[in-house]
Each structure stands twice: as C-alpha cells, then as structure tokens.
Chains A and B, each alone.
Chain A
Amino acid sequence: MEIHTRLAVEGFSPSSELAAMEVGDAGAVASMIGRCRDRRADGTAVLGMLLDHHPRLTAQSLEQIAGDAATRFDLLAVRVLHRSGLIRPGAAIVFAAAAATHRRAAIEAVDYMMDRLKTEALFWKREDAVDGSRWIEPTDADRAAAARWSD
C-alpha cells in the first residue's frame, strides 16, 4: 500500500501526479482534480484564492484522511496533494487519487477523500473576486456529503 500526501506551497502538475499512480496490479485508478474557478455561480469574476494552513497540523490532516481511506477501502495506492498560498484561476488546488484492483473501491475512495478534505482538512480558504474577498466555509451540502461516510 502506497500512501503519498503533500502540502504543496507551490503549484503542482496533476498529470504528473496521476502518472505517479501507475501501480502494477491496479485494474482501476480514479482521480479528482479541484481547480480554482474563474467565476462564481452568479458570474462574478474571481481573481484568485488564498489558502492558509497550520504549520504542523495541516499536513497531518492530509495524512489522516489518506490513511483512513486506505483503511476503509481495498486499495493499492492513495495520493493526495493540496495547495496552500495564492492560487490563480484555473490552477489546481487539490489532487486526490486512488488505485485499486477494482473500480468501485477506487471511485468510492476518491469520493470519500474529497468529502473529508472539504470539511476536515485544516485549510482556510479566501476567495478574491472583483466585488471583494470572502472566507469560504463548508456548505450544508458539503457537510451532508461528508456525513454519508459516518459509521
């Protein structure tokens, strides 16, 4: 089982990270790339985002989430990268991937990790738009999605 997590203070290449998921026995590799939008749902132009993190606990939260996915699902490899700092529209914020013998485990593991990253990973996200900046919090939909995985 390969578990790789990284707090990326500089940009990363999602295609390179996906290429790193080549695992011999994996019949399936599932991945999710979250990017900084250039517009809000109402059409307001977004100039970028700022992600704040905790110097010690944020990386631990990524390891915890990836490790829990590896425990919960029958996987061969897990990979999670998450940016911090200033992020321009279009840039990747998060990469989550899982490799497994069968597709169901890989797909569900990525879904699980994204729901937990949205609600538990220790980041604070500020969206900077043409009409000002706002700090973003998980929505009710985010919390409901994460709650699906509660035992």
Chain B
Amino acid sequence: MIIEFYGSLAETIGREIEIGLDEGTTIASVRRTLVALYPAAAETLSRPEVRALVDDQMAGETTVLTSASVLAFLPPVSGG
C-alpha cells in the first residue's frame, strides 16, 4: 500500500512511502504504526486534525484498507 504525505508530514517523512499490509488493517492501525516508525512525525500524526484520505476520499479511522489503496495523511490546511 502506498501512503502519501503533505505539508509538514511530507517534510518529515517524505512525499510517499510503501508498506506491506496485513488483512483487515485499519487507518487507525496504520497511524499507530507510522507513529512508531517516524518519531519525528509522531506528534503531528497523533493529532485528530490530521485527516486521512483513501483513494482521494475522506475516510474514518475504522476504514479497512486493501493493498491497492492509496492512503494519504493531510495536516490542517492553510490557503489564501
């Protein structure tokens, strides 16, 4: 599964990583895994304001992922 990052998360982790996925993995589980793998990004990843997208659609923490999913984590946006 591909995971994309934006903003401060992209700066810390990189734009994109690829990880192996166990059957039935949820977004919440991936988030916990990333927190452990990337301590420098842990605080940001743990914020509820950091949203998850699956295949460009907003998704909740209990969403079950597949190996073909593209998961993205978005920090709070700021335009204008």
Q: How many residues in B have their beta carbons less than 8 Å from beta carbons of A? A: 15
Q: Mark B1-42, 1 if CB is under 8 A from A, else 0.
A: 000001110110000000000000000000000000000000
Say whether A137 contacts B78, CB under 8 Å. yes
Say whether A124 contacts B56, CB under 8 Å. no
A126 interface neighbour in B11, B56, B79, B80, Cβ under 8 Å: B11
Across-interface contacts of A136 in B (CB, < 8 A):
78
Interface residues of B (CB under 8 A from A): 6-8, 10-11, 53, 56, 72, 74-80
Interface residues of A (CB under 8 A from B): 34, 52-54, 56-57, 61, 82, 93-94, 114, 117-126, 135-138
> 16 pairs across A/B with beta carbons < 8 Å?
A52-B10, A53-B6, A82-B79, A82-B80, A117-B79, A119-B79, A120-B77, A121-B80, A122-B74, A122-B79, A124-B7, A124-B77, A125-B79, A135-B11, A135-B75, A138-B76
